Structures are given as C-alpha cells and as structure tokens.
Chains A and B, each alone.
Chain A
C-alpha cells in the first residue's frame, strides 16, 4: 500500500486546468521530489494529497484511506505554506501544540534544536526573521514523528547552514519506514537528496523515475562557444552533429565547450522552460 497515491487526479479552477491527469505515489522509505515550474500544478497536487482540496476527478488516497480522514492524517506531517504564525506565540508553544496531535511525537526540544531553534524557542514568532520562521515551519512537519512528511518548497529562504540541517534531518528519517515528499525549484536538491523525481508540468506528470533515469532518458549535452555576437549556448541531443554543422557553417567561434548533462538540462528539455 502506498503512503500517498494520486490516481488520474484532475482539478480545475474556473477555466484553468491546474491538474489534468496526475498519477504518482510515494511508498515507505522513499524521498520523492516533485519538480515543476511555477503554476505547473505542484501545489494543487499537494493540497489534494493533504486533504485541503477535493479532486474534480480521480482519487487521492493517504495510507489507503481518505486524505480527510483524521486517522490517516495522524501519520502525516506538513509545513505551513507561508510562515504566518500568530505573532504573540513562541516556537516552543506552537511545536508542543502540534506534537499533541500525534500518537508518538518526537521530543519537542530536540526537534527545535535540530533546526537551530533551541535558542529562539522562547522568543515570539513575530520577532523571528523570515529564515527562522521557515525553520520553525519545517520543525512542525517533523515534530509529530509522522510516517510521511510533506514539504512544500522547504529550502526557499533558508541559508546554507539550515539547508544542510534539513537534508541531514530528511536523510536521518529515510531508510526506515518513513517517507518524505517535497516540492522544489532547485534541481540540485532533487538530484542530491531524492530517491525518485516526479516532474509535473501543465497539470500532467511528465516524468516519474530516479534522478539518474531522468538524466538518461532526457539526456542532453550543452554546446557553448563564443561566436561573433558573443557567447552562445545550445542544448542538443547530438553534439557531434551540431559541431560538424557549426564548423561547416564557417562561423567564427572560440572556446568551444561540450558540457556533461545535468538534471537541469533534462528538465529544460522536458518542460520547455528553465526551472
């Protein structure tokens, strides 16, 4: 049984198809990155998975049940989308209240410390910086020690140190029964941390597989050189052919480079848009 499964899910807002036919799942032990440009349908997919919205068509299941079922949600932890905490509350108070929702929560102080919030635990959230609020948001997803953690763009607004702490935390959780689903704009993160990548664009799942297979399947090489009008960079499937044509064309060029394929290149090929 999948921890989370979207099956042929469609969602329409007015005349806009946010999701057309989205099918993907996440199972025990996986770290799944959901990639896609802005407006691709990532957030809608997550909202349906979290039980915040209902699908127009298709089904969403959480631990085999409804995402609105409290018994299923007790195994799920999520981050607040934006960090709009009630100003007067303190991180520790919020974390304690969130932990109270779960049958076997993690230690509140230990979780706050893991995100570098131990020294800030008694400050008001209104006095915290944007990055600190973001770290609190992440700590809340983990404090219930849920089986599935869902993070919507977890590293946006985080400094390098906090990013590392987050990935350490995520990796510490994985390998067992736990699973993590996150959306991101950062391809390097998906590449470095995910066991599987789901690419959503235009409301559809365009790819679902390991980071390595994404690169293989949509592998492109980047040819770059300095031409008469300045630097040129071209992504192409057949670099040999491209270079032959370039030489034959008689255009003056220098500093010819053929770069190895990256996930970012694959992503551009896949969605037709950078990031």
Chain B
C-alpha cells in the first residue's frame, strides 16, 4: 500500500514478465557483449585501449536497454487493456514509472556488467577498486537522459514504429557518439556532430575514469539533455493521456 511496497510489487511483475520473454532478454542483455566480442576484442590488445573500449561498450549496453525497455516497451503497452486496468488500481503513474526505471536499471546494469566481465576475461583491461566504483556511479548517472529519451519515444511514436525508430537512434547515436570507434577516427559528418550527441557525452563521462574524457563538461551536458528529454517525455505523456483518457 505504501509507495515503496507498490513500486516493488510492480517491479516484480515487470521483471517476471521480461525474464520470461527471451525475445526481449537475449537481444538487450547479450547483444552489446556480442558486439564487444566481434568488434572490440580483436583491437583491444593494449591495456589502455582495452580500458577505453570497455567503457564505450558499457555505455552502448546501457543505452540499448533504456531505449528498448522504455521506448519500445511503453509504445507497445500504453494502448493495452492491461495498462488501462492498472490505472484503475490505487497507484499513481509515478509508481509505474519508478518500477520501469528500476527494471531498466537492473537490466542495464546486467548488460553492462556482462560487457565488463567479458572484457576482464578476454582483454588486458584492468580497473582498480576506485575505478569500478566510479564506473557504477557514472553508469547510473549517464543512464538518466536515455531513460527520459526512451520515455519520450515511447509516448510520441506508435507501437509499430517504436522498434525501428529506437533501433535507428540506438545504432546511429552509438556510432556517431564514438562508442564503436574512438571519436578521432569518426568520418566527416559524424565527427562534426559527435560532440553534441548525448551518446558522446555519456562516453566522455565514462572515459574520464581512465583519464580519456572530460567529466566536468560531460555531466552538465547530460543534465541539459535530461531536461530537454524530460520536457519531451512530459508533453508526450500528457498528449497520450489526453487522447486516451480525456
């Protein structure tokens, strides 16, 4: 009945539903690691290079989970009778959102941990305890604008369009943000827009752990993105509520 208990109840339902859906689970949890094994491991022979590329793929993993869990998830579910029923229960919209965020963080951190563990086993990357701690903190902080971005997609885009659109953003933004190759190797246009992308700023935040990025610039940039996406998400949510429940 109290909010934390309700959030727990909703989180449990969502987690159970997702854990039993291999079509969701396998791509979101294992794809980043698969990409890492294919594209990153062969080029990560020196420790510094391995550290850098591991951090890039941690960001890539978290962005994937947030965009799919929120963007595709919300777009698919918001019109369903089940969502309508949940609205008749004595729980505010905040409870449902909190549960969704908890789920996304749980899956995002799993996907990221899988990348990090794979990196530890297959590359010469090596972090000290303080670096692991910062990685955990930054991973959660950097996820926030993408959670909001995902919510915005979920409420602005139809269920059918959500998957391709989330995929385009996921792949293009990851590429142009320099998460697949160091930003200095990016081709023309991608290199020009890269510094303005949230993916690049997430990368910079994580790379700062090994002294290869600028956290003091990345954090405010991600905060600005968070505000923009929060506004878009709020407008999208209201718009959906007006059409569906006015």
Give A residues with C-beta under 8 Å from B.
50-54, 70-71, 73-74, 76, 78-89, 93-94, 96-98, 100-103, 124, 140
What is the CA–CA distance of A250 and B1 in the complex, to the nearest angstrom? 74
Interface SS of B by simple majority: helix
Q: Which residues of B contact A74 (CB under 8 A)?
A: 1, 90
What is the CA–CA distance of A71 and B91 in the complex, to the nearest angstrom? 10
**A and B contact pairs by CB, cutoff 8 A, 7 listed:** A50-B88, A52-B245, A73-B90, A80-B82, A86-B17, A88-B17, A101-B6
Interface SS of A by simple majority: loop
B9 within 8 A of partner (CB) = yes
State how many angstroms separate the Cβ of A84 from the closest Cβ of chain B.
4
Given A100-B5, A103-B1: A93 and B87 interface contact (C-beta under 8 Å): no
Question: What 10 pairs between A and B have smallest CB-CB spacing?
Answer: A88-B20, A80-B85, A84-B81, A73-B90, A100-B9, A82-B81, A74-B90, A97-B9, A78-B88, A86-B17
State how many angstroms separate the Cβ of B103 from the closest Cβ of chain A.
13
**Of B5, B82, B91, which is within 8 A of A86 by CB?**
B82
Query: Is B17 touching A89 in the complex (CB atoms < 8 A)?
Result: yes
Query: Is B20 touching A100 in the complex (CB atoms < 8 A)?
Result: no
Beyond A86-B82, A89-B17, 18 additional contacts (C-beta under 8 Å) are A71-B90, A73-B90, A74-B1, A74-B90, A78-B88, A82-B81, A84-B82, A87-B17, A88-B17, A94-B13, A96-B9, A97-B13, A100-B1, A100-B5, A100-B9, A101-B1, A102-B1, A124-B20
Query: Is B81 touching A53 in the complex (CB atoms < 8 A)?
Result: no
Q: Which residues of A contact B17 (CB under 8 A)?
A: 86-89
| Interfacial residues of chain B within 140-162, with CB under 8 A of chain A in the complex | none
- Residues of B in contact (CB 8 Å), total 24
Query: Is B245 touching A88 in the complex (CB atoms < 8 A)?
Result: no
B84 within 8 A of partner (CB) = yes
What is the CA–CA distance of A52 and B81 in the complex, to the nearest angstrom? 12
Query: Is A100 touching B21 in the complex (CB atoms < 8 A)?
Result: no
Q: Which residues of B contact A94 (CB under 8 A)?
A: 13
Query: A105: nearest residue on chain B (CB-CB)?
Result: B1
Query: Is B87 touching A70 in the complex (CB atoms < 8 A)?
Result: no
Query: A50: nearest residue on chain B (CB-CB)?
Result: B88
B238 within 8 A of partner (CB) = no
Given A52-B245, A80-B81, A85-B82: A101 and B89 interface contact (C-beta under 8 Å): yes
Q: Which residues of B contact A93 (CB under 8 A)?
A: 12-13, 16
B100 within 8 A of partner (CB) = no
**Of A78, A82, A96, A101, which is within 8 A of B91 by CB?**
A101
| Interfacial residues of chain B within 1-57, with CB under 8 A of chain A in the complex | 1, 5-6, 9-10, 12-13, 16-17, 20-21
Given A100-B9, A103-B1: A52 and B87 interface contact (C-beta under 8 Å): yes
State how many angstroms separate the Cβ of A169 from the closest Cβ of chain B.
19
State how many angstroms separate the Cβ of A63 from the closest Cβ of chain B.
12
